[in-house]
Every structure is written in structure tokens, then in C-alpha cells.
Amino acid sequence: MSINIDRPCGTFDRNYFQAKEIFRTPLRKALLILLLGSMYLLPYLTNDYGISILTIICAYSIGMLGLQIITGYCGQISIGHAAFMGIGMYTVGILQRHFGLSFWACLPLAGLVPMLIGMLFGIPALRIKGLYLAFATLAAHFVIVYVISNWRSVTNGTDGIRMNRPGPLWGIDFSADRNYYFLVLTATVLMVYLATNLTRTKLGRALVAVRDNDIAAEVMGINIAHTKILAFGIGCFFAGIAGALGGAYYEYVNVEWFGLDDSIWFLGFLVVGGFGSIFGAIAGAAVWKIMDELSTLVTPLAETFLGGAAFYASAAFSLVFYALIIIIFLVFEPRGIAHRWQMIKRSYRLHPFPY
Amino acid sequence: MEETLNAFVFGICNGGIYSLLAVSYVVIYKSTRVFPFSQAAVLILGAYIMWYCLIAWHLPIWLGFLITCSAGAILGIFIERAFMRRLVGQPILAPIVVTLCLMLLLRGVGILLGKGNIQGFGESFLPVGAWKIGFLHIPEIQVFGFVLCTGLIGALMLFYEKTRVGLAMRIVHEDHVMAQSLGLNVRRVFQYSWVISCVIASIAGMLLGNIQGVGLGLDANGLVAIAAVLFGGLESFAGAIIAGLAIGILQMLTIIYIAPLLPGETTMMIPFILLLLVLFLKPYGLFGLTRIERL
Amino acid sequence: MAEPLRDIGKKREQRYSYGLTLLRECIEMKHPSAHTEEKGEDQILLRAENICLDFGQLRALEDVNLEVRAGEILAIIGPNGAGKTCLLNVISGFYRAQKGEIYFAGKRITQSPSYKIAELGLCRTFQNIGLYTGLSVIDNIIAGRHPHIHYHFLAGMLYFPWAHREEAKQRAIAEDIIDFLELEQVRASVVGNLAYGLRKRVELGRALALEPRVLLLDEPMAGMNLDEKEDMARFIIDINEFLKIPIVLIEHDMGVVMDIADRIVVLDFGREIAEGSPEEMKEDPRVIAAYLGEG
């Protein structure tokens, strides 16, 4: 991971700083700037509907990055990720409603509160080796949803809380969707930057070491309990930020939005995107949102075909269809879209040789 | 006092079904080392199929029972053949995600089967009525359910102890590689475990559908059974049985003592708090095995 | 020509180093008085006293004493199942012995967790290679440096300049080790794809990266042909002479043991049956009966 194996032809490193660079040649740096620029220009090309999709993809990407750190890099299975996203959303909502804090003040807390709560649930499970984090997060999910649904005085129960978009900053009004998209995009770029750096540093290597061979890692000087707890904490931090940004887009947050299904889809679409890479996390988030949009198209189709039975078809559609896609990916392409993309790039580069 | 005793008895009867579910999880986990989250949804399918047999098609009870068990068996064979078999050799994450997605897939199939409605059984197929023993008020339906569960678990334990196939399964529980080197067909044992587990889960679904009404909320029982499995130890049948009973009793006591104190639906949440406590205090469960790793 | 260690990474030009000079500087910076010029008997670096290890009813080690003196190469030999790897596991903290004490450089490490023991300088390799299969060779070696890398993870995430420089410094030290072990060709390959002999060398490199004060090698030459064995023996002798650290070797190849070991300890069925120089061991009747055989 500290070596960039995917180096363009003809470039040689003269010192270790160059060896660690991800964008090695001037051409690649230019392409990166072009990509970022085009992402900022996209909202001018689409209508509000397109902007909403892009914003939610960005918010989901941040959440997926968090899960990628926990599961893809550190190998711990977390089935409660949507619940921590919900805690992030609710933190902002509660602070705005009861204390009147501005969005900017709430945002770091939206990351910290899920992190602390996550670590509270994660610590008993991470001291021991095995799948126990999966069960602990499953339990955490139910407990969190229960607390949020029933603590009416603070969270307004199942009625949800209205959230406010951030106040104007430097004259930019965020109640306009386009401006809010720029904010979310900037946050996503920042989070991707943080996550990529994480993989290149000492903690990133420790995460992969714990995933690959935790027995050996312990004997080789890595405190695996500490590493796992840290990974889980960082992942939940990302989830909380994702929740805050997504919730502020809809200006409303409700506990019904994050059920056990969503936690499982997080994990499943991370598999579809690909484990162990940043691109995989973003690809998984994009696929998820696109699937969501496709499933909203099913309802009118179902009504024409099935008549009165349509109302349950769309509910079943998302369950059956997403699950099938995830399972098919796991069986046939377990390393996900990211790996497939690497293969395509490689075949293009090596054409006409097979490998 | 009366209430508590009543709760105890009620809880044991409920706990019988939880034990059955917990055993269905442990059967697969011991053989394949994959935790089958999907069994929570097989419940729903079992309940719906029984409902169809009895209410929609008006078949006799024994035929409905037979059809449900066969459907469970076919489902088990299908899941193992189509999905689990292809995941051999992949890291532990892959089967877990597949079982989780299967849980949701089967839930979706359940919605389609039930046409989105949550419905009661109409007429129960088990005797409805209650016995009064002193101050105890025991519904017959629960007792029959409990007796059926005990019978099933007893039959399963006999199967493991006395038959050759059971012996082969017990060897696979210990070590896959060793079993294979002894000439046992480990894949077939995996298939048997899945079939047994799905049949048991369908029967449990049948009973629960009768008691609680056929609908999508049944998989909450499956998830509570997960808490039972962890409480008893992931690899222990005795633990699963005892923990199932304990959780049944705990739920009933919750209804009496804790539910008045806390708002909302506490009966489904308290077992998970128990799960977290178990992870804190005795992570391997009551009867679980701590594995010694080789370096 | 030699650039001091603390300046590495400050400039963008790289220095060239031969052998393990960088590593030796790291060790000397931390423990200036650790090495002596002669192999003194009075300098005992690692001492294990009366170790008793049970697995349930199975007694793996019984009353084993081990002393590692400064600068020596100690070989532990014995038939399979004698408890040699168990002894190393107990010393490195992976198993907890039921009885016995372990002292390392005067500190009592019997109850310390394994990662603290590794930080102190007690590093080991594994019999069945325990590399991080997802990382490349050089990443494995830098991962071995983990306890000695000092920047906070937040600084790493924000990639502050001092984190950059620290990474470059660690890379230089890892390249130093790669030069020594002649692994330059495979530096960027993922270890899962490497041949067995190369993987053993990477393991040795990772153990070296931990700045060992005592090195424990578990069958470093298992499964190698004559050339590879000679290479490995050369590496071991070079490490012993250049870094001046004692090396404990578990080995089955008697030729290698007799050639490079200063002292031999023989284990059989968990007990220590003999200890002494190679010449003494060749004549000792108990050792011949248990392990070497007649002739």
C-alpha cells in the first residue's frame, strides 16, 4: 500500500517521497483536476432530480468509506452501520432543535457522537477474536432504534425531527440544492482524502495486518484490540458525517429510514463495489443509489402488470432484487466492481497480450 | 407471585420454540462455521406455506405439515447447492453477507407470497383453549408447541448419537480437514445440516405463525434466537436449549416487570441487551468452547 | 558517506547503505549498552525458569529452563511434538504458562501481552509462515516496524509533513533490510504469490524490522534445498555478528545445527533432556537415544 504498484510506464522514482505518490505523472495530476472540475460542473448540466441523486451518492459514499475502513481494510463485520448514520442525523437534529446550534457547530459532533457510541458497543466485541462484532452491532442496531423511537422528549419519537440546512457562509445560500451539493461534494473529497491517507500510513498497514493474520500481528507488536477499536471508531465517525449531510439535504430525519435492511445493504453494496479499495466504496454507493432510483420506477410498471397488487410489489422488489444482485456478485465476482475495472484497464493497457 | 409463576410457565413454553430456533442455528454453525442469519426468514416462509395449505387450500393438518417440512427441506437443499457451495474458499465475510442477503431475499419472497398482508391464521390448527391448574393459566396451544419442540430436539439429539450419519456429522463438527481425510463426504454433511436446519425453522415458523399470527414480524423471533445462541455458546446444543428457555422466561418477566417502566416495545429489545452483557462478561457463552489457536 | 539516521527523510535525496547499518543504528540508539564484543557468559539476556504448560490434560512443557546469553546462537532441537514451538509461544507471550517465570533483560515479562514483548525486542518467526498475505513484501517489512513508528494516526490521516518524513525514514530502513536479505527483485510483489523459500526470508526480514534484541527463529530452514539453506545460514550468522544479538534457533537439520550453533538444548516430550555444546551433544547417550539415533 505504500508502494504504488500501478505505476505508469516509463516513470521511475528517485526518492521515497515520489514512490508514495498516487498521481505520479503530470498527466495524471491534470486528469485528477479535470475529474474534480467536472464533478463541480455536473449540477449545471442536470435538473434538480439529478442534483438530488448526486448529493445522496456523495453522502452514501462517505458512509461506505467508513464501512470500507471497518470491513474492507480491517476485516471486522459491522451490521449496524445504518444505525450509526442515523445517530449522526439525529445528533444534528436534536442539537438544532433543543439547543439551536448552527449546522457548522453540529457537524463535528455528528461525527464524534456515533464514534463514541460505536466504540461503546464495539469494545466488548473487539477484545475477542471472531465474528462477535457482527452480533454486537446487530444488537446495537436494535437498541439504538429502540432508544430513538421511544425517547420522545428528546428525539420526538417516530415523528422525526426537522433539520435545517447550514446557514449562509461567505454569502452562499445553502437552501439552494445546487449550493448544498457543492458543500457535500467538498466534504466527500475531504473524506476521500482522509481515507486514502489512512491507507498509506501506519494505521492502514496495521488494519490490513489485523485482517490478514491477526495472530501473527499481535506477536509482531501490533495491539490488535486497539487497532480494531480505532478502525471501528473511525468508520462510525464517517457514518455520522454521512448521516448529517444526508439528513440536512432532506431537511427532515426519521428513524424509519435506517432499519436493519439498510445496514445489510451497506454491507452488500460494499461487496458489489469491491473490498479493500476507496474506488470500490464509491462505486458501491453509486450502484446502491442507482438501484434505488430503478426500484422507484417499478411501482408504475407493477401497477400496469399486476393491477391492485402493486403496492406490495415495490416493497418486495427492492428486497428481492438487491439481494439477488449482491449474491450474484459474491458468487461470480467476489472482488467487486473495482476489481473488474482494474481488469478492464489492464486488458486495455496490455492489448493485444492477455496478461 | 401468581403472575410471576404464570410468566415462568408461559416463558418456558415460548422458550421451547426459541430453543428450537437456536438449535437450528447451531446445527449449521457447528458443521460449516458459517452463521446462518437467513434462518430468521425461513420462519416466515414456513408460516406462509402452512397458512396456504390450511386456509387457502383447505388441506388436512398432517398434509400441510408434510408439505411445509418438504418445502423447508427443498429450500435447504437449494440454498446450500446454489449459494453456499460456491463460496467455499472465500474469506468468512462472503458467506455471512450471503446469509444476510438471503434473509432479506426470503423476506421479499414472503411479502410476495402473503400479498403484503399480515394475516392471522383464522383458525388455529392446534387446540385452542386453556388449562387451569390451580392459579396457573396455561394455554393449550403453547403446551402443544412446547411438546412438539421438545420432541423435535430430542429426535435430533438421538439422530446425532445413534445413527451413522449423525456420527459423521459430529466428526465434521470437530474438523473439516480431518473428516475429509477420513473419507467422509463433508459436502453432503453440509447439505444435511442445511436441510435439518431449514426443516426445523419451518416447523418453528408454523408454530409461531399459529401463536403470533402469520406475517413479516415473525423474523423478530429469529433474531431473538440469535441472542439465545450467543448466550448459550455458539457451538453448543445444550447451551442453545438452555439459553432458549432462559430467553423465553426473560421475555415474559420483562412484560411483567420492565415493560411498565419503559415505553415502547421492550420485549424485543431486552434480549439484545442481554446479548451485549454476555459479550461483555462471558463472550464465549455459557457452554461455548474457547478455541486454542496454533501458531 | 554515512548519513546519520535522524537526517533521513529530511532531504529528498537518498543515501545508499550496505548491510544492516541503518538497523544497527536504530538498535544502538535505543539500547547503547546492549551489545558486547565477546560472547560473555555473565550477560544473560533472556531467561525462562520452570515453565510448565498444560492444554487441559495434555502436558506440553514440564519444568523447562532456558537461558540465552549475549551474542550466542542457541539451537533447540528435539523430535516432533517435543514442545519446541510451544516454548517459543510461551516466551513470546502467545500462550500463558501455568507455572514459571520469564525474564528479558532484567524485566519480568511473564504476564505481558505479546505486543509489548515484541516492542521490547523479543522478535520471532513462525513455523507456518505468518505473513500478511494482502500486503507486498516491503509493506510487510514496514508493518513489522509498527511499534517503532512514531506519529499519531490523525497526523497520518492529514498527512502532515512530519508523517511524510517518518514514512520515508521507515522506508529507508526497510530497504536496508531488503538489501541485506537480497529481496530487491520481489520488493513489490504481494507475498501470497511468492515461493516458500522467499516467504521465509521475508519473515526473517519482518522479524528484523522489529529491532530485535533477541531473535527467535522457528524452523527457518524447513522445506529448503541446500542452496537456500546455505543462504539462510549465512544470513543468520551475519545477523548474529553484525547486530551482535543472540539468536535462538529451532531446527531439525543436524548439519546446520552442528555448524552454526554455539550451544544446544534438547527437548523431548516437553522436558529438557540435555544442554551443552555441539560436541558434547554428539556424544551424549540420552540425546542419541531420543533424537539422533545410532551411527
Please tell me which residue, B157 or B256, carries the higher pLDDT value: B157
Reduced to 3 states (helix: H, G, I; strand: E, B; else coil), residue C59 is: strand
Q: C55 and chain A: CB distance < 8 Å anywhere?
A: no
| Backbone torsions φ then ψ of A275, nearest 5 degrees | -80, 155
What is the residue range of B87's domain? 2-281
Give the architecture-level CATH label for domain A51-349.
Answer: Orthogonal Bundle (1.10)
Distance from C-alpha of A66 to C-alpha of A60, rounded to nearest angstrom? 10
Question: Distance from CA of residue C43 to its chain's centroid?
Answer: 19
Does a structural domain hold residue B292? no
pLDDT at B26 > cutoff 90: yes
Nearest CA distance, C99 vs chain A (angstrom): 21
Residue B193, pLDDT score: 94
Please check whether residue B132 lies inside any domain of the structure.
yes
Q: Please determine, for residue C295, whether its predicted confidence score (pLDDT) is greater than 70.
A: no
Q: Is A83 helix (H, G, I), strand (E, B) or coil?
A: helix
For residue C107, the surrounding DSSP H or E stretch is strand C107-108
Rounded to whole angstroms, the maximal C-alpha distance in chain B is 61
| CB atoms C157 and A198 under 8 Å | yes
- Check residue B218 and give its pLDDT: 83
Nearest to B116 among A124, A128, A315 (CB): A315
Give the span between the Cα atoms of B239 and A218, in whole angstroms.
Answer: 31
Interface test with A, best of C22, C115, C139 (most A CBs within 10 A): C115
> Would B90 be classed as within a structural domain?
yes
- CA-nearest of B74, B12, B19, B88 to B45 is B74
What pLDDT band is residue B121 in, cutting at 50, 70 and 90?
low
Closest-CA distance of chain B to residue A253, Å: 20
Q: For residues C291 and C52, give the distance between their C-alpha atoms in angstroms, rounded to a whole number.
A: 22
**Which residue of chain C is at minimal alpha-carbon distance from A75?**
C134
Residues of A in contact with B275 (CB under 8 A): 135-136, 139
Count other C-beta atoms under 10 Å from residue C41's C-beta: 10
DSSP one-letter string for A142-198: HHHHHHHHH-HHHH-GGG-EE--PPPPBTTB-TTSHHHHHHHHHHHHHHHHHHHHHH
Query: Mean pLDDT across the stretch B186-199?
Result: 93
C85 interaction partners in chain B (CB closer than 8 Å): 295
Residue C38 has pLDDT above 70, yes or no: no
Work out the minimum CA distance from B113 to partner chain A, whole angstroms. Answer: 10
Q: How far apart are CA C233 and CA C230, in angstroms?
A: 5
CB contact under 8 A, B97 and A326: yes
Specify the range with the lowest mean pLDDT, choosing from A181-185, A193-197, C128-132, C283-287: C283-287
| B262 contacts A132? CB cut-off 8 A | no
**B82 CB burial (10 A radius; 0-12, 13-18, 19+):** exposed
pLDDT at B140 over 80: no
C71 secondary structure, DSSP code: T
Mutation for testing the C interface, residue in A68, A219, A222 having most C CBs under 10 Å: A219
Answer whether residue B85 is part of any domain. yes
Residue of A nearest to C93 (CA): A219
B28 pLDDT above the threshold of 90 = yes
B230 contact A CB<8A: yes
pLDDT at A22: 79
Q: CB distance C85–B295 less than 8 Å? A: yes
Decide: B53 and B185 in contact? Cβ < 8 Å. Answer: no
Instruction: Evaluate whether residue B290 is within a structural domain.
Output: no
Domain ranges of chain A: 51-349
C-alpha radius of gyration, chain A, whole number: 21
Say if B295 falls within a structural domain. no
C-alpha cell at C38: 565477546
- Tell me the C-alpha distance between C289 and A325, whole Å: 64
Per residue in C248-269, pLDDT tens?
999 988 888 988 999 999 998 8
Q: The complex's ipTM?
A: 0.88
Give pLDDT, residue A26. 84
What mean pLDDT do residues B38-51 have?
90
Half-sphere exposure of C87 (CA within 13 A, CB side): 35
CA distance C172 to C203: 18
- The reply to whether residue A3 touches residue C187, judged by beta carbons under 8 angstroms, is yes
- Cβ–Cβ of C94/B292 closer than 8 Å? no
Tens digits of residue pLDDT in C62-103: 999 999 988 899 999 988 888 899 999 999 988 888 999 999
What's residue B70's pLDDT?
A: 95
CATH number for B33: 1.10.3470
Determine the pLDDT at residue B192.
93
> Do residues B26 and B240 lie in contact, with contact meaning Cβ atoms separated by under 8 Å?
yes
Q: Which of B45, B80, B97, B98 to mutate to test the interface with A (most CBs of A within 10 A)?
A: B97
- Provide φ and ψ at A13, rounded to 5°: -90, 140
Q: Give chain B's length.
A: 295
Tell me which DSSP letter residue B80 carries: I
Interface contact B108, partner A, CB < 8 A: yes
pLDDT confidence tier of residue B76, bands split at 50, 70 and 90 = very high
- The whole-number pLDDT of residue A141 equals 92
Mean pLDDT throughout B176-189?
89
Q: What pLDDT band is residue B35 in, cutting at 50, 70 and 90? A: very high
- Chains near B (3 or more Cβ pairs under 8 Å): A, C
C160 to chain A nearest CA, in Å? 10
Chains that touch C (3 or more CB pairs under 8 A): A, B
| 8 Å CB contact between A1 and C135 | yes
Instruction: State the nearest Cα–Cα gap between C86 and chain B, in angstroms.
Output: 9
Q: Using an 8 Å Cβ cutoff, are B250 and B256 in contact?
A: no
3-class SS of residue C277: coil
Query: Cell digits for B133?
Result: 391448574
If 0-12 CB within 10 Å is exposed, 13-18 middle and 19+ buried, where does residue B73 land? Answer: middle
Whether residue B96 and residue A127 make contact (CB cut-off 8 A), yes or no, is no
Q: What is the pTM of this model?
A: 0.90
Q: Does C79 touch chain B (CB under 8 A)?
A: no
Domain count along chain B: 1
Note the pLDDT of residue A16. 79
Min Cα separation C95/chain A (Å): 11
Ranges of chain A with pLDDT below 50: 2
Please state the φ and ψ torsions of residue C51, each to the nearest 5 degrees: -75, 125
In the predicted model, what is the mean pLDDT of chain C? 85
